């Protein structure tokens, strides 16, 4: 297996893949149904089926299909989530939304939380897993995304705590379809300026849904719409917790302040980039 791993590593490196040795081990392990560590110790020949699976996955990775979308799974916060090309791949940066939301909800007995643009459900389900008395509503305009989110809820044993709604926050009747008032609204909305999308890494622009990336001309269209809705959806004292793009935190805070919410905090991520905006009604 050393020669095979070396060959895969060289091909992945030549394609510009970061951590090519690790990814070679992950691919071999996935093809054989074993862990990446076990793949290094493999001393037998691959079966025809294993070789076919490995060749297929390697071709996909050389075409810059993200590893999580090849494997169909992605770790986020404390949990593993099913993913596909129909949902945005969960990012480590987004875990700050969960962490900050949990700090705000600390000690709360019952909560009604809505996740706008839920995708795989990773934010909402990570929150609900912390307290069996909390209830969540995941909103997404993609039926395929909601199917994946529902599958994740089943696997995490959270079906009874969550409901799913196929809708857009641009729908006029959205409020009437939600259980109100909300204690908290969380969202990682599309925030990439449309002109910047062609310059994104192939793993993002070619394999994440465009609808999960496109934030309009300045990247702020979805924040404006959510801000127009939030005051009527939240109870007094309710929270909005948002992920924002690089350089957007102050603009997003102003947009929501203009709708009547009070800026509470801007939180940087581990790289020091302002990544989370928190507001209060």
- Summarize the annotated binding site as residue ranges: 117-121, 140, 169, 188-191
- C-alpha distances in angstroms, 131 versus 56, 134, 156? 41, 6, 13
Annotated binding site for substrate: 188-191
Known binding-site positions for S-adenosyl-L-methionine: 117-121, 140, 169, 188
Largest CA distance in the chain: 65
Q: 156, 108, 104, 114: which is closest to 135 by C-alpha?
A: 114
Q: Is the peptide bond before 181 cis (omega within 30 degrees of 0)?
A: yes
Q: How far is CA 33 from CA 15, 53, 75, 234, in A?
A: 25, 11, 18, 46
CA dihedral 196, 200, 202, 205 (to 10 degrees): -50
**182: which strand partners?**
234
3-state secondary structure of 89: coil
81 in Cβ contact with 152 (< 8 Å)? yes
H helices within the chain, ranges in order? 2-14, 20-32, 36-40, 48-62, 67-71, 95-105, 122-128, 143-155, 174-177, 202-205, 221-233, 249-258
């Amino acid at each position: 297996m050393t020669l095979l791993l070396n060959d895969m590593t060289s091909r992945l490196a030549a394609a510009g893949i970061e951590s090519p040795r690790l990814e070679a081990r992950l691919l071999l392990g996935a093809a054989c149904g074993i862990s990446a560590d076990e793949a290094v110790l493999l001393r037998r020949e691959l079966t025809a089926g294993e070789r076919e699976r490995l060749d297929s996955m390697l071709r996909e990775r050389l075409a810059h299909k993200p590893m999580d979308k090849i494997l169909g799974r992605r770790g986020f916060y404390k949990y593993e989530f099913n993913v596909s090309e129909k949902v945005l791949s969960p990012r480590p940066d987004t875990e700050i939304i969960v962490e900050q939301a949990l700090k705000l909800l600390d000690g709360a007995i019952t909560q009604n939380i809505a996740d706008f643009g839920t995708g795989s459900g990773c934010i909402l389900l990570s929150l609900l897993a912390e307290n069996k008395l909390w209830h969540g509503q995941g909103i997404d305009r993609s039926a395929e995304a909601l199917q994946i989110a529902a599958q994740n809820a089943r696997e995490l044993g959270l079906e009874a705590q969550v409901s799913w709604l196929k809708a857009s926050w641009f729908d006029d009747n959205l409020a009437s379809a939600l259980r109100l008032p909300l204690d908290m609204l969380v969202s990682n909305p599309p925030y990439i300026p449309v002109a910047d999308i062609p310059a994104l890494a192939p793993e993002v622009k070619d394999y994440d849904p465009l609808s999960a990336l496109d934030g309009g001309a300045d990247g702020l269209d979805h924040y404006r719409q959510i801000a127009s809705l939030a005051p009527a959806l939240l109870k007094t004292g309710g929270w909005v917790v948002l992920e924002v793009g690089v350089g957007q935190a102050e603009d997003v805070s102003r947009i929501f302040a203009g709708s009547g919410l009070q800026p509470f905090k801007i939180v940087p991520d581990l790289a020091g980039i302002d990544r989370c905006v928190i507001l209060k009604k």
